Copies of this chain bind each other. A is one copy, B any other.
Amino acid sequence: MTKKKIKVVQLGLGPVGCGIAKLMLQKSCLEIVGAIDLVFAGKDLGVVAGLGQNLGIIVSENANEVFKKTMPDIVVQATGSFLKKVYPQLETAVRAGINVVSTCEELSYPYRSQPVLSAQLDNLAKEHNVSILSTGVNPGFLMDAWPLAMTAVCQDVQEIRATRIQDAKPRRLPFQKKIGAGKTVAEFNQLVKEGTLRHMGLPESIAMIASAMKWELDDIKETIEPVIAQMRVQSAFLSVEPGQVSGVKQTGRGIKDGKDIIVLEFQAYLGAEDSFDAVSIIGTPNIETVIKGGTHGDLATIAMIVNAIPRVVDGKAGLLTMKDMPLVYTLMGNT
């Protein structure tokens, strides 16, 4: 890590992008030199991020112009979940010789679902001598990097399970909507059918674990079911009646020789009594580990992205994934 400040451009100013920008402002080793967003172009980043003051950084809609003018070390991309959608932005940054850390879930381990695009992006990054990493709390930590890190003390592993049970009450309204809270079962199933109700990243986490464990999977399967409210539950934003959907239970399974050897279970609903994250490893020895009370999704995703910045700037050229990153820990040095 250099002593010089790392120059960062923030690309995408939704709630997570704004959270990232706010956290970066607190880190003395980082300097935000630009911001890009289509919706907020022309406004000051400080106002958009809700700081109530100008930062002298005017949000632009022209990435190329910002990159040329500010010559950042890294771009933080928080614009979308699908690699195809964010690919043109990645390409612009890479061709400008800028490293990228991204929240794009599919990019967290894209080799299985997007082998062609992944190889293309990896080559492009190597050609321009920059690193690209997508991370976050999940995918990026709770269901891939964390379970893998815990296998360090195992001599052998037969099975890996990760479970994330979340009470969605304290989360943002977009999150509560995303998990189907307040919908009827028919509406929920329709949203699942349309592909709009889906936590992104389980197949990516499964593929990352399988790759690290050298397990050749027969298949990766995913199911999405509604959690039905047994009694009335309320959040600050929503009220869910008995029989309505309070959230989602989504399960990803990595199957080898007909057996589920990787099982990732994600439950997020209003009124979950016991929030926790857990990893269970069947191996030598077995490992049962829990994060009590769970992990606050928004805080943690923002943290992961910001904490990973120096590792990406110093990383090998190419498309990186969390399974091969040097240890990421809290980036200290607050102003």
- Is B287 touching A290 in the complex (CB atoms < 8 A)? no
Distance (Å) between the CB of A194 and the closest chain B CB? 31
- Is A155 touching B292 in the complex (CB atoms < 8 A)? no
- Is A287 touching B283 in the complex (CB atoms < 8 A)? no
Distance (Å) between the CB of A127 and the closest chain B CB? 22
Distance (Å) between the CB of A133 and the closest chain B CB? 13
A114 at the binding interface (Cβ < 8 Å): no
A264 at the binding interface (Cβ < 8 Å): no
- Is A151 touching B329 in the complex (CB atoms < 8 A)? yes
- Is B156 touching A295 in the complex (CB atoms < 8 A)? no
* Chain B residues closer than 8 Å to A287, beta-carbon distance: 291, 295
Copies in the complex: 2
Q: Which one of A36-44, A140-148, A231-239 contacts B?
A: A140-148
Distance (Å) between the CB of A88 and the closest chain B CB? 29
- Is A214 touching B322 in the complex (CB atoms < 8 A)? no
User: Which of A284, A289, A292, A307 has the most B CB atoms < 10 Å from its CB?
Assistant: A289
Contact with B along A275-294 (1 / 0, CB 8 A): 00000000111011111110
Q: Restricting to A254-312, which residues have a CB under 8 Å from any CB of B?
A: 283-285, 287-293, 295-296, 299-300, 302-304, 306-308
| Bound: A151/B299 CA distance, A | 12
A87 at the binding interface (Cβ < 8 Å): no
A2 at the binding interface (Cβ < 8 Å): no
Distance (Å) between the CB of A3 and the closest chain B CB? 12
Chain A residues touching B, range: 35 or more
* Chain B residues closer than 8 Å to A292, beta-carbon distance: 288-290
Contact with B along A306-335 (1 / 0, CB 8 A): 111000000000000011111111101110
- Chain B residue at smallest Cβ distance from A154: B330
* Chain B residues closer than 8 Å to A289, beta-carbon distance: 289-292
- Is A295 touching B299 in the complex (CB atoms < 8 A)? no
| Bound: A323/B327 CA distance, A | 6
* Chain B residues closer than 8 Å to A330, beta-carbon distance: 151-152, 154-157, 213, 283
* Chain B residues closer than 8 Å to A145, beta-carbon distance: 149, 152, 327
| Bound: A325/B322 CA distance, A | 12
The one of B153, B214, B303, B329 that contacts A332, using a Cβ cutoff of 8 Å: B214
| Bound: A331/B207 CA distance, A | 17
- Known A-B contacts A289-B290, A290-B289, A293-B288; the reply to A154 vs B325 at CB < 8 A is no
- Please name 11 further chain A to chain B contacts, defined as beta carbons within 8 Å, in addition to the given A154-B307, A283-B330, A288-B293, sorted by A numbering: A26-B156, A141-B153, A148-B327, A149-B329, A157-B332, A214-B333, A215-B332, A285-B296, A285-B300, A289-B289, A323-B327
Q: What would 28 A/B residue contacts be, using CB atoms closer than 8 Å?
A: A23-B155, A26-B156, A141-B153, A145-B152, A151-B329, A152-B328, A153-B299, A153-B303, A154-B307, A154-B330, A155-B303, A156-B332, A157-B330, A157-B332, A213-B329, A213-B330, A214-B332, A284-B303, A285-B296, A285-B300, A288-B292, A289-B291, A289-B292, A290-B290, A290-B292, A322-B327, A323-B327, A326-B327
